[in-house]
Amino acid sequence: MSHTVGHALRAWVRAARGALEWHLETGESALGVPDGFRPPALGAFAGAPRRPAAPPPAAPAAPSAAAQARLQAAQPDPVAEPRPASAPADPPVVAPALIPAGDGAAPRAAALQVLRDEIGDCTRCPLARGRAELVFGWGSPTARVAFVGDGPGPAEDALGVPFVGESGALLGRMIRAMGLRREDAYLCYVTKCRAPDGDVPDVAVETCSPFLRAQLARVRPEIVVALGDLPTHALVDPTASLSRVRGQFFERDGLRVLPTFHPDALLQSPNLKVAVWEDLKKVMRALGLEAPRAKGRR
């Protein structure tokens, strides 16, 4: 097995494992693959050239005149109410917004839906051309804490749900370690569309940042955890160095923001977990939370 194909297989397995953990953790029955979605070829996923396509099979023998008549009668009229070429065959499968019991949940959920409708099938920046699904946000509209990442990855782009890949599974364990469930938090990204090469253009950040701030203004979390450089730049200071501001609280535009490392960084450098846990404990103290007493939790 070549290196690129092996890398692609491992990436798909990690993404599937993260999505499965998300599904089991939240009990979200709507999580699934959008209609019409097909995973890309392994070579395309890994950045390797595709193999030449196999030659098409030989055409079958033409049916008899009677068979043709029966087939034509069974087919719908191709000119009756044609579907626009740009319209999807079916609405995508998207996790519904959670509306937990509590004062203000329904109005905030409704305000988030209005914002989502305003974004619509966004084509405001170049990232729209390469996305499968726009990833808006997921979680409690009355969440006390929100986690903001940079942008969706392959698993999130396929499902339209934030933090369902391997780093999302790690984030779920981090949230549980804080004594919360994932559905107690609100999860979203700075940009709503996947950057295929991982390089997010400035125009995408400039376009999506107002929508991010509008999301957070509707949820009104007590603390926003900025996961990584891009959320820190968007919410705290575009010139900030994450290594310098990490673990500190900043008041910005009515939001209390604490930057820390992204779960992807923890997967690449597990030694950073100690620092991130210290940051999360600051969030817990600010919210009056206690970590679960159960042992053996990862």
- Give the H or E element holding residue 19: helix 3-26
For helices 3-26 and 166-177, angle between their N-to-C axes, nearest 10 degrees: 40
- Between CA 85 and CA 209 the distance in angstroms is 31
Which of the two residues, 58 and 278, has the higher pLDDT score? 278
- Give the H or E element holding residue 232: helix 229-235
Spatial contact of 157 and 194, defined as CB atoms under 8 Å apart: yes
pLDDT exceeds cutoff 90 at 235: yes
Supply the pLDDT for residue 94: 36
Supply the pLDDT for residue 203: 96
- Between CA 111 and CA 134 the distance in angstroms is 18
Q: Quick: pLDDT tens for 18-52.
A: 555 544 554 444 444 433 434 443 333 333 333 33
Q: Tell me the whole-structure pTM to 2 decimals.
A: 0.68
Mean pLDDT of the chain: 76
pLDDT exceeds cutoff 70 at 73: no
Expressed in angstroms, the distance from the first to the final Cα of the chain is: 33
Check whether domain 3-35+95-287 has CATH 2.120.10.30, yes or no:
no
Supply the pLDDT for residue 104: 83
Reported confidence tier of residue 17, pLDDT bands at 50, 70, 90: low
| Mean pLDDT score, 88-92 | 37
Flag the least confident range among 72-76, 137-141, 183-187, 194-198.
72-76
The SS3 of residue 140 is: coil
- Between CA 171 and CA 168 the distance in angstroms is 5
Q: Quick: pLDDT tens for 182-221.
A: 999 999 999 999 998 888 999 999 999 999 999 999 999 9
Domain boundaries, given as residue ranges, for the chain: 3-35+95-287
